[in-house]
Amino acid sequence: MKLNLTHRAFLTGAALLAASWGCVAANRPATAQAPAPAVLVAMQDELGRSMEAMSAADPPAYFISYTVSDRQLAEVSGSNGALLSSSADRARWLEVQSRVGTYQLDDTHKLGDRPPSWTSPGTNVPIDDDIAVLRREIWRETDRQYRAAAQALIKVKTSQQVQVQTAEGGAPDFSHEPPHTSVGPRVEINVDRKPWEERVRRYTAEFSKSPSVLNSIATFTALATNQYQVNTEGTKLAFGQIHYRLELFVQSKAPDGMDIERYANFDWLDPKDTPDEKTVFDGIHQLVKETEALDKAPLANPYAGPALLTGRAAAVFFHEVFGHRAEGFRQKDISEGQTFTSKVGEKILPDFISIKDDPTEASLGGQMLLGSYPFDDEGVPSVNVPLVDHGVLKTFLMGRSPLVDVPHSNGHGRRQLGFTPVARQGNLIVSSSQTVPFSEMRQKLIALVKQQGTPYGLLIDDISGGFTFTGRGQPQAFQVTPLVVYRVFADGRPDQLVRGVDIVGTPLVSLTKIVAASDTQEIFNGYCGAESGSVPVSAVAPAILISEMEFAKKETSTDRPPVLPPPAHDPEAKVQQP
Amino acid sequence: MKKLSTLVLLAAFAMPLAAAPAAGNRAAAVPSAQAPVPAGETDQTLHAMHDEMARARARLVLTGVGKPFYIEYRLLDLDVRNVTASFGALVSSSTSRIRQMSVDVRVGDYHLDSSNFISEDGFQGFLGSTGEVGIDRDYNSLRQDLWLATDQAYKAAVTQMALKQSFLRSLTKPPEIDDFSQAQPLVKIDPRVDPDWTSRNWEEEAREASAVLKNFPQLYGNRVNYYLVYATTYRMTSEGTLIRSTRHLAAVEAAVDTQAEDGMSLHNYYSVYAALPSGLPDAATVAKAIASASTDLMALRSSPLIPDYTGPVLFDAPAAASTLAQVLEPSLSGARPPLSMTRDFDAFLERFGGRSEWSGRVGTRVLPASVTLLDDPTLQELQGQPLLGSYDVDDEGVNSQKVSLVESGILKDLLMSRRPGPDFMYSNGHARSALLSDPLPLSSNLILQAADALKPDDMRKKFLDSCRSDGHEWCLEIKRMDNPALSAVRQEDFSEFIAELGGGISNGDRVPLLVYRVYVADGHEELARGGILEGLTLRSLRNILAIGDDPTVLTYMLNSQEGLGGTALGAFGSAQDGIPSTVVAPSLLLDDVEIRGFHGEPSRLPLDPAPPMK
């Protein structure tokens, strides 16, 4: 396979991450020089012993892996000008995977449309480096997971005898992968929460100056994760990642009861890249301005016609409409829609569009990419995967659940703590070989409006997220929720902000209607929720012009705005504290 | 303001209720006016609550709909220290400050209001009427949060009232009992107490206390948890109640577990509670107690199985107290259950033994003629031992009162909140809630005494005599009942317990932990394992063979989460979500108790032996 590429890409990613650890780890020579971490020693001690017993048991285990995620989290949150919470925590979570059967058919085999057997996913283990105690916890959890797996395998075997196998279902349950050894230094954060407590108060107090803002929350988080993993194939990993984030969130209500929400986030890897006050306040003022404008904006009507998506909006669009359907495990699950399963080698997008998913890149143009990692949650090094090359689908994102035609992982097996990893996106990066400046895109939108005779075109400036149905039980549709939508008129009138629409559509049609892309990529950093929980991802795309897009009325609340004005903006009320 | 996840069934249980008849003892017209914040008071929380409520009382009204007739603000300000260790190693350690508010707004009147009604649908607001609020104790942010919560609670009340009135029209005879009883407003502002975490190193104590478990190589898992909390509670009503009160609690709770050689899962627990962190025993003392619980667990491991059995059973005082908490609690409340559009709620109560057997039976004999049962939240201590169930003012702002439930075996009174019931109308200060859950009439310090109590030697003699006269070679003595909320090393073990036993609870299934066979011939004892008491209900208590003169205080955390308050499962709670309560009970000798031995399939033993601990 693409071993060279794998290797090179991985080194790049690791180097970038190591650089950012350097400045943190430098203060702690003691931990940096420490021999093998206690967690690894404990896991290694138990692994051999467990495998010896369980591979000889009936049914035999053929694979065991241990993952301990050591998370150090500092979180400071403010609301409406006051501190909401301020905490620092550290915890270790152990996950054990004990697979019984064979690589071809094991206890994780999905049965028809039934969800796989669920065992609670792990346990808290001590944060003190006491090897004997850690071993005791690992021993217990291993036995629990082995029992659950042994029971699940019986169900799998029984059902095999009564159910037909689809071609896709004939793929093995688990892929063979070469072992990887990499023991990096432990990462740590050292956050003084006091200044952040002051900052979140100031930020949310600034929001409260607007009577339109009913509620505001600002949350700073600093997270250091040290992940330790060993398995019976010989993988032995210790690696760390640090992530800082500031989130701003405001809620409002339009006079007709529609909920208005605006959100912004800042992500960085190194404390020196902390956004300065001016940047944050500019962001706050922008959110307030948009909130106030949205409160007053007219409701949009259902519409089908040309639409221009700015880079961030386009990024979310690709994540929902294309990215989720490129996740490998969906291609073998008969309950899935399998939109692209048989389309490898076929054209699914215009010639000028290429898409890759590259978790090996820690940043792009100086901005952090949130979906980066050196190894995935199944211990496989991350890989830059070209998914679409000039419009042609090349492959899928793969964890260790192989497909008949894609027998190996490409380092995309990911999960939130407590979930079983499946193939997920990391940094989905869309690029275009033909680009035009954004201003020209606007002109093209207006040209399309004239050509199609629609009353206006839509400019989508921000998308909060969306969801997509990939299963067979539902229509193969997606819905994304634009937060800031403008009507762009052909006759030169100024753009008009509107609210209350969702973008709806079906993936195969929508993707082929892309007619132009801009010359500047924008980054959306967020958390994506799916089968294996919520994982950090990036989506990167240029602005795109779509010749026809469908908009439907958004589901809305009929709950009226508050009866009384906000206390701080009530001329009749005592508003000052005594 | 952050929205808190709502405990559906709790919310369902909700609120004061309804009733008409009953002995009125204090029904003078209640002023409906807000109490002013005392002059010179600098607590901005009180000022923010006062000013926002004043605005709501004056101006909160939707066109065509009535104004609120009752508004209540509750605010809880918590300082929590939570430390867990296992085998001498720290598992987690946190210190947190949390403030939560809960706003109740009602429309209608005392006779028929928007509360006490469970419907399938209701108001869906964008923010709830409960939630986390800022921890700065400032004025402005709290007003903002209270403003939105009051607005949401009012709209919810209006919606609920419409649904309720429409449901009432579908009934042949709507309930005549009032929804809410009147009570004298109370103004009581306690000084605030600042938490003190510095005097002891709780992480070190948790490590030290749990390190002793390394000496038990057959122990599988364990958790030793230190939970310390300082709570300031605010309550303000549109009737004029204004309360700031402080409560604190310190707890050590430990769970240990293992498997017997035949695969049966076994566990034990230890708990100790004090009003203040300084009242907790030192680490060496805790270590000793945990070691003792583990020694008992190891003895259980190698003990024989209990066979099926029917005959006399001697409950030692701690086991008697736990059994009484399970058997009595569901029948102590005099409140009528809420009106429900669905049958699910009734089914839920049935399932967990939550239906009162005493309601409607006032004046009849319910316990042996020698027995007195009372619940006394005003009692601070008994024989030098503090009673943690005591309080001055209940969770509806009513002064606590001693209630004589049963005198000479005759049912005289029931525990009342401001939710009236068929027998009684007014609160006797027993509304209790954990955190900001809805207050229910629950016990505080429940005390059972007998006029004809026997000395321990006489108890034992009577036990062996009745055993002998029944023709048994041995009979059973229960020294300790299980408390699965404390003995489960993992939370899911407790959930499993409820799932497995839940159905049996209403039929009187009770789980003992330390059961001994006592031989008639020479009185020697043998520990046995695996039995479940069957059919142990209120009926079993009407004929108690003998009662000891050895009253013992059992301190436990009454669980009112997920609607368990007032059910038999309410006896199983932990410090994190329970309500401090006590049962004072002597040893009890019951005749004709059924015990079902273990008939299930035990799990198999781990494939590997446990790894070495040293």
Question: Do A235 and A340 sit in the same domain of this protein?
Answer: no
Whether residue A30 lies inside any domain: the answer is no
Tokens of A44: 């290694």
Tokens of B239: 């009737």
Mutate to test the interface with A, among B45, B129, B608 (most CBs of A within 10 A): B608
> In the prediction, which pLDDT does B511 show?
94
CB B480 within 8 A of CB B318: yes
Report the DSSP beta bridge partners of residue B181: none
Whether residue A20 lies inside any domain: the answer is no
A336-354 per-position pLDDT tens digit = 777 788 889 999 999 999 9
C-alpha dist (Å) from residue A444 to A26, A311, A458 = 53, 16, 12
- Looking at domain B202-301, its CATH class is alpha beta
> In the prediction, which pLDDT does B516 show?
97
Residue with tokens 């396979």: A1
> In the prediction, which pLDDT does A306 show?
95
Report CB contact under 8 Å: B59, A572. Answer: yes
CB B483 within 8 A of CB B322: yes
Using a CB–CB cutoff of 8 Å, tell me whether A571 touches chain B. no
* Range of lowest pLDDT (A486-495, B121-130, B215-224): B121-130
Count Cα neighbours of A402 within 13 Å in the Cβ-side half-sphere: 18
- Alpha-carbon distance of B139 to B43, in angstroms, equals 9
Whether residue A62 lies inside any domain: the answer is yes
Please give the DSSP secondary-structure letter assigned to residue A510.
Answer: H
Domain that holds residue A350: 303-553
> In the prediction, which pLDDT does A29 show?
35
A33-58 per-position pLDDT tens digit = 457 899 999 999 999 999 999 999 99
> Higher confidence at residue B527 or residue B13?
B527
Asked which of A278, A296, A314 is the last residue of a domain, the reply is A296
Question: Do A319 and A242 sit in the same domain of this protein?
Answer: no
Task: Give me the mean pLDDT over the B562-582 stretch.
Answer: 87
Q: How confident is the model at residue B4 (pLDDT cuts 50, 70, 90)?
A: very low
- Alpha-carbon distance of B145 to A416, in angstroms, equals 32
- Alpha-carbon distance of B318 to B552, in angstroms, equals 7
Using a CB–CB cutoff of 8 Å, tell me whether B135 touches chain A. yes
Q: Give contacts of A 31-50 with B, CB under 8 A.
A: 45-46, 49-50
> In the prediction, which pLDDT does B471 show?
94
Whether residue A461 lies inside any domain: the answer is yes
Report CB contact under 8 Å: A215, B143. Answer: no
Q: Which residue in chain B has the smallest CA separation from A575?
A: B140
Helix (H) and strand (E) counts in chain A: 9, 22
Residue A239, domain CATH: 3.30.2290.10
- In degrees and rounded to multiples of 5, residue A544 shows phi and psi of -130, 150
> In the prediction, which pLDDT does A143 show?
94
Whether residue A508 lies inside any domain: the answer is yes
B138-194 per-position pLDDT tens digit = 999 999 999 999 999 999 999 999 999 999 998 888 888 999 999 999 999 999 888
A52-70 per-position pLDDT tens digit = 999 999 999 999 999 999 9
Q: How confident is the model at residue A538 (pLDDT cuts 50, 70, 90)?
A: very high
Using a CB–CB cutoff of 8 Å, tell me whether B73 touches chain A. no
> In the prediction, which pLDDT does A32 show?
41
- Alpha-carbon distance of A122 to A139, in angstroms, equals 12
> Higher confidence at residue A102 or residue A8?
A102
A141-174 per-position pLDDT tens digit = 999 999 999 999 998 888 877 776 665 667 899 9
Q: How confident is the model at residue A396 (pLDDT cuts 50, 70, 90)?
A: very high
Using a CB–CB cutoff of 8 Å, tell me whether B142 touches chain A. yes
CA A108 to chain centre: 24
- Alpha-carbon distance of B408 to B405, in angstroms, equals 10
* Range of lowest pLDDT (A220-234, A236-250, B169-183, B518-532): B169-183
Tokens of B603: 């799990």
DSSP H/E element including A8: helix A3-25
Q: What's the structural domain count of chain A?
A: 2
Report CB contact under 8 Å: A130, B125. Answer: no
Q: How confident is the model at residue A23 (pLDDT cuts 50, 70, 90)?
A: very low
- Alpha-carbon distance of B461 to B500, in angstroms, equals 37
Tokens of A357: 């998913």
Q: How confident is the model at residue B51 (pLDDT cuts 50, 70, 90)?
A: very high
> In the prediction, which pLDDT does A475 show?
64
Report CB contact under 8 Å: A82, B62. Answer: no
CB A389 within 8 A of CB A14: no
Q: Cis before residue A59, ω within 30 degrees of 0?
A: yes
CB B230 within 8 A of CB B81: no
Tokens of B59: 């101006």
B253-274 per-position pLDDT tens digit = 999 999 999 999 999 999 999 9
CB A358 within 8 A of CB A314: no
Question: Do A449 and A394 sit in the same domain of this protein?
Answer: yes
Nearest to B379 by CA among B391, B393, B367: B391
Report CB contact under 8 Å: B51, A80. Answer: no
* Range of lowest pLDDT (B346-355, B407-416, B508-517, B587-596): B346-355
Q: Which residue in chain B has the smallest CA separation from A143?
A: B606
Is residue A434 exposed (0-12), middle (13-18) or buried (19+ Cβ within 10 Å)?
exposed
3-state secondary structure of A239: strand
> In the prediction, which pLDDT does A574 show?
64
**The pLDDT of residue A186 is above 60:** yes
* Range of lowest pLDDT (A254-258, A270-274, A354-358): A254-258
DSSP H/E element including A367: strand A367-368
Q: Which residue in chain A has the smallest CA separation from B94?
A: A89
> In the prediction, which pLDDT does B11 show?
29
Neighbours of A200 (CB within 10 A): 27
| Contact list, B126 vs chain A (CB under 8 Å) | 251, 253, 259, 557, 559
Mutate to test the interface with B, among A92, A119, A128 (most CBs of B within 10 A): A128
Residues 6+ apart with CB under 8 A from A38: A129, A130, A131, A134
**The pLDDT of residue B497 is above 50:** yes
Neighbours of A494 (CB within 10 A): 8
Report CB contact under 8 Å: A577, B47. Answer: yes
A402-429 per-position pLDDT tens digit = 998 899 999 999 999 888 899 999 999 9
Task: Give me the mean pLDDT over the A219-228 stretch.
Answer: 97
Using a CB–CB cutoff of 8 Å, tell me whether B325 touches chain A. no
> In the prediction, which pLDDT does A118 show?
52
Q: How confident is the model at residue A2 (pLDDT cuts 50, 70, 90)?
A: very low
Q: Where are the alpha helices (DSSP H) in B410-483?
A: 456-469
Count Cα neighbours of B278 within 13 Å in the Cβ-side half-sphere: 4
Using a CB–CB cutoff of 8 Å, tell me whether A57 touches chain B. yes
The residue type found at A4 is N
Question: Do A253 and A335 sit in the same domain of this protein?
Answer: no
Using a CB–CB cutoff of 8 Å, tell me whether A438 touches chain B. no
Nearest to B424 by CA among B415, B411, B432, B433: B415
**The pLDDT of residue A457 is above 80:** yes
Using a CB–CB cutoff of 8 Å, tell me whether A137 touches chain B. yes
Distance of residue B422 Cα from the nearest chain A Cα, in angstroms: 37
Please give the DSSP secondary-structure letter assigned to residue B161.
Answer: H
CB B191 within 8 A of CB B72: no
Q: Give contacts of B 242-271 with A, CB under 8 A.
A: none
Whether residue A561 lies inside any domain: the answer is no
**The pLDDT of residue A236 is above 70:** yes
The residue type found at B362 is V
b/e per residue A5-43 (b: at least 16 CB within 10 A): ebeebbeebbebbbebbeebbeeeeeeeeeeebbbbebb
**The pLDDT of residue A71 is above 80:** yes
- Alpha-carbon distance of B433 to B395, in angstroms, equals 6
Task: Give me the mean pLDDT over the B277-283 stretch.
Answer: 95
Task: Provide the mean pLDDT of chain B.
Answer: 89
- Alpha-carbon distance of B9 to B163, in angstroms, equals 18
CA A535 to chain centre: 4
**The pLDDT of residue B360 is above 70:** yes
CB A255 within 8 A of CB A211: no
| Contact list, A209 vs chain B (CB under 8 Å) | none
- In degrees and rounded to multiples of 5, residue A70 shows phi and psi of -100, 110
Whether residue A15 lies inside any domain: the answer is no
Out of A80, A87, A139, the one facing B145 most closely (by C-beta) is A80
What SS3 string covers A296-344?
A: HCCECCCEEEEEEECHHHHHHHHHHHCHHHHEHHHHHCCCECCCCCCCC
- Alpha-carbon distance of B604 to B264, in angstroms, equals 8
Residue with tokens 């993952």: A67
Q: Transcribe B465-481 into DSSP letters.
A: HHHHHTT-SEEEEEEEE
Whether residue A468 lies inside any domain: the answer is yes
- Alpha-carbon distance of B542 to B529, in angstroms, equals 28
Question: Do A256 and A167 sit in the same domain of this protein?
Answer: yes
> In the prediction, which pLDDT does A167 show?
58
Out of B59, B61, B138, the one facing A82 most closely (by C-beta) is B138
Q: How confident is the model at residue A4 (pLDDT cuts 50, 70, 90)?
A: very low
Question: Do A408 and A511 sit in the same domain of this protein?
Answer: yes
> In the prediction, which pLDDT does B563 show?
72
How many A-B residue pairs are in contact by the CB < 8 A criterion?
181
* Range of lowest pLDDT (A241-250, A282-291, A465-474, B7-16): B7-16
In chain B, where the domains are located: 2-35+42-75+98-186, 202-301, 309-596
A423-446 per-position pLDDT tens digit = 999 999 999 999 999 999 999 999
> In the prediction, which pLDDT does B24 show?
38
**The pLDDT of residue B27 is above 70:** no
Question: Do A290 and A326 sit in the same domain of this protein?
Answer: no
